[in-house]
Structure 1
Amino acid sequence: MKKMGLFLLLAVLLLAGFRAVSESVAFPAISQPAASPSRSKSEDSFLILVNRDNPLPEDYAPQLTWLNNGLNRVRADIYEDLSAMLTAGTEEGLRFVVASAYRDREYQQGLLEEDMAILASAGYSRDEAYREATRTTMPPGCSEHETGLALDIVSLDNQRLEEAQEETPENIWLRENCWKYGFILRYPRGKEEITGIDYEPWHFRYVGRAAAEEITRLGLTLEEYLAR
């Protein structure tokens, strides 16, 4: 059963990897920065904690803007810093792809149901499939992607959502520099029991420049930072 569970988990992860490709094929993250709207929200709103224990209200509706790839949206007031970060990396010869950014509840529900269907087809009960699937795909209302503050950023040369992302020049650069632009690596290795999410080297979250600098300097997760 353990071998079967591992196989199915790998199948779910592979499906997630293919999603990255399907959502971003041949579209670099941001080519030329577009005119960016001025910020209208307080820094505190960048620190919203979203997880199983802290779901978003059903009427949560962030103000969004499109990225230049025409496929993804982010919260309008983080566009300027996101553009600056990806432009800086691009100028160093790196090639980024935004695999996923804002998702609404319906889309998030669809992703979860896809993963659960894989598990159910192998004999898992609905409850078992739900528990296993939510190790990698959050239930609707509990995903940071619904805030418009989170992005899955990958290398053009490897668009799979897999741990091997950490070996790409793009990911190495992001992990070393993202804090300068207000972003953190949201689900770091070794903090799984705190975040409740497996290590995701591709998942970056905007928290504002001051918070990102402190979180990175102290080696904290967002949960640990907010609990101080």
Structure 2
Amino acid sequence: MTHTYIQGTGEFKAGFFPFRLFSGRALIVVFSLILATALIWFLSMARVADLGSGSNLASSGLIELWKHGDVVVMIRHAERCDRSPNRCLGSADGITVNGSQAASDVGAGLQRLGLERAHLIASPLTRTQQTATYIAGQTVISQDWVGNCDTHFKNEVVGHKTKGENLILITHSGCIDHFERTMGLPAGERSSEYAEAFFVKMDGKSIPRVLGSLNAVQWKSLANDQLK
């Protein structure tokens, strides 16, 4: 607010500069910029695409990458016996009967995708070994690092990926979470259901890129031509 002297009266008259209108417009501009920045940040966040939904599988490029052996798949073990009321497949540290069926469904899906250029490794724990057996239809080699869920897990994955060969890891939710963290995935995007498969492009030329995920049920709903 300003004060204007009125000649001959000895009085000051209160008034306002136009900056009040300008300030209002400036606030609108500032808020618009803040909203635009927030929207750009939100849209640029790394996300895990649901490959069983819509055209996500086709647009991900997974099929072509798989044909060239440029994919790593991390699969969480099937339903744990010691955390479920369902009937156990065997010992309490293994998976349930329902879990073995889910693992078989994942295996059938991977077979349709093609395992000619794939190498499977499992964590040595009972639940991952059983899951791997039902996925592959045979015993799968185990290595300790696949079950070591720490900050070095991503480096281990990269180090064990062979050029031109897809790598399938039967592992744990904690390991997958550590990998997702290093990929910059926010907390709301980091999750893995029992027997869920998490796909990553890893061609040795560019930085790894998250392709998306498929749960055990979704494999059965995919048509053969979608996986070729």
Do the structures match in fold with TM over 0.5?
no
Larger radius of gyration: 2
TM-score, length-scaled by structure 1: 0.29
